[in-house]
């Protein structure tokens, strides 16, 4: 299992020049006094596995909840606690660290640290490292729900946001004091996603809006049965994640899948081809790029039975009618400058059929894949795509769906210029 995660990371990134997602990045983690401090070594471990250089700063309060040793063992770096510590050769640690940081996260961030920073106070190692930082600064408030709701704390958080700090909203749940409410630090995996979003990719899609469809549609026959296909949604979800990491504002219109949608994207769940048509055409006028990776039913039952259809002697057949072709509709109704990309799933004559779809649907690019080719298609974690436009055909080798998504976006951006 571990091996798989490792390989995913390896595969996701080579095209951006480095093997691990956070390779070469210096990340500072400030840990203040809160029970959630005990979860932070997990986060640090995730960052180290992606080859980040992690430095932990513990406040006096933080040290009450977790000692420096776990962090030192995980990072290989000395945990910093004291601004005035003298070292050989002499170095002004807080300035040196602030200068080399690519990101600073305070987690958990106590009411105390939030209040100090909101007022520009720098009276310990963490606060005096934050003030000279010019990198993104994130903070994850964690405290009792009454403290969290206190208007002074709320004002201080608003002030930090005003100065460009990124707030990771506290979660609602059971708190250490026994109360239930808003004030929990989100789990390390969620904090990791915030860091990944900031640092993992160059933001070459910032300011762009991208809509991607994913998964299979379901066409109801009666309240119990439906017609569908084998689409897993993996390709569309990988495109949504890649575009999000590259800074785009992403809408994911998705049929039911067994996988979790990527974070930081707007998810619009749909069931049928009709639902997808309505969701896509409603959002289309705002989009710079639309990628239709979903496997949409071409036919749907003429009528949906109100009650379960009971079996009878002999065979039966279900009359089907055509669904709307969403991509063809987009091709006819596109707004100026909008880029349209479709997928084409074939089992024979892939190039010929896909070229015909490109022309028939009036779109810019089609990503063709042949279900008969090993490593291509619906279920697996890899794909083998040929990117077909009016002027070019680019055959990509077998690669992870994450990497294929990155390459597809590279091609879209190249053509959009």
Footprint on this chain of ligand CTP (rule: CB under 6 A)? 273, 292, 294, 296, 298, 323, 325-327, 342-345, 357
The minimum distance between CB 394 and ligand CTP, in angstroms, equals: 17
User: How many angstroms separate the CA atoms of 298 and 294, rounded?
Assistant: 12
User: How many angstroms separate the CA atoms of 17 and 23, rounded?
Assistant: 10
Closer to ligand CTP by Cβ: residue 127 or 217: 217
The minimum distance between CB 327 and ligand CTP, in angstroms, equals: 4
H helices of 263-370, in order, are 273-283, 326-332, 350-361
Closer to ligand CTP by Cβ: residue 54 or 327: 327
Query: Is 177 marked active-site?
Result: yes
Buried b / exposed e across 5-36, counting CB within 10 Å, b at 16+?
eeebbebbbeebeeebbbeebbbbbbbbbbbb
The minimum distance between CB 377 and ligand CTP, in angstroms, equals: 12
In the three-class reduction of DSSP (H, G, I as helix; E, B as strand; rest coil), residue 212 is classed as strand
The minimum distance between CB 298 and ligand CTP, in angstroms, equals: 5
User: How many angstroms separate the CA atoms of 407 and 409, rounded?
Assistant: 5
Q: Which two tokens stand for residue 362?
A: 């009036």
Closer to ligand CTP by Cβ: residue 246 or 292: 292
User: How many angstroms separate the CA atoms of 319 and 301, rounded?
Assistant: 6
Closer to ligand CTP by Cβ: residue 58 or 388: 388
Backbone phi, psi, residue 360, to 5°: -65, -35
The minimum distance between CB 330 and ligand CTP, in angstroms, equals: 8
C-beta of residue 415 within 8 angstroms of C-beta of residue 24 = no
Radius of gyration of the chain (CA): 25
Closer to ligand CTP by Cβ: residue 263 or 362: 362
Q: Which of 5, 177, 201, 341 is catalytic?
A: 177
Which residues are the active-site residues?
Answer: 177
């Amino acid at each position: 299992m571990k091996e798989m995660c490792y390989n995913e990371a390896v595969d996701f990134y080579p095209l951006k020049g480095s093997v691990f997602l956070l390779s070469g990045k210096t990340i500072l983690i400030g840990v203040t006094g809160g029970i959630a401090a005990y979860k932070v070594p997990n986060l640090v471990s995730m960052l180290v596995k992606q080859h980040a250089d992690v430095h932990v700063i513990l406040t006096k309060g933080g040290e009450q909840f977790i000692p420096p040793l776990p962090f030192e063992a995980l990072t290989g770096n000395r945990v910093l606690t004291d601004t005035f510590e003298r070292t050989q050769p002499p170095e002004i640690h807080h300035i040196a660290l602030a200068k080399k940081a690519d990101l600073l996260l305070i987690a958990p961030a106590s009411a105390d640290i939030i209040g100090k920073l909101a007022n520009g106070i720098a009276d310990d190692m963490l606060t005096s490292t934050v003030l000279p930082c010019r990198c993104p600064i994130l903070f994850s408030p964690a405290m009792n729900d009454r403290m969290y709701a206190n208007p002074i704390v709320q004002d201080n958080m608003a002030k930090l946001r005003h100065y460009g700090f990124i707030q990771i909203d506290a979660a609602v749940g059971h708190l250490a004091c026994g109360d239930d409410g808003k004030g929990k630090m989100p789990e390390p995996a969620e904090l990791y996603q915030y860091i990944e979003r900031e640092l993992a990719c160059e933001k070459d899609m910032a300011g762009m809006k991208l809509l991607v469809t994913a998964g299979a549609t379901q066409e109801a026959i009666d309240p119990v049965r439906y017609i569908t296909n084998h689409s897993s949604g993996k390709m569309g979800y990988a495109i949504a994640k890649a575009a999000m990491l590259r800074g785009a504002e992403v809408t994911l219109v998705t049929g039911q899948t067994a996988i979790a949608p990527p974070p930081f994207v707007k998810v619009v769940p749909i069931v049928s081809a009709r639902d997808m048509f309505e969701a896509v055409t409603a959002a289309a006028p705002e989009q710079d790029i639309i990628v239709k990776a979903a496997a949409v039913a071409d036919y749907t039952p003429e009528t949906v039975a109100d009650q379960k259809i009971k079996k009878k002697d002999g065979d039966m057949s279900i009359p089907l009618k055509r669904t709307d072709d969403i991509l063809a509709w987009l091709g006819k109704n596109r707004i100026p400058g909008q880029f349209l990309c479709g997928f084409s799933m074939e089992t024979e004559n892939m190039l010929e059929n896909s070229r015909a779809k490109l022309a028939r649907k009036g779109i810019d690019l089609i990503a063709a894949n042949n279900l008969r080719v090993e490593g291509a298609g619906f279920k697996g974690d890899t794909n083998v795509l040929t990117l077909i436009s009016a002027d070019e055909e680019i055959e990509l080798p077998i690669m992870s769906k994450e990497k294929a998504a990155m390459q597809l976006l590279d091609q879209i951006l190249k053509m959009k210029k």
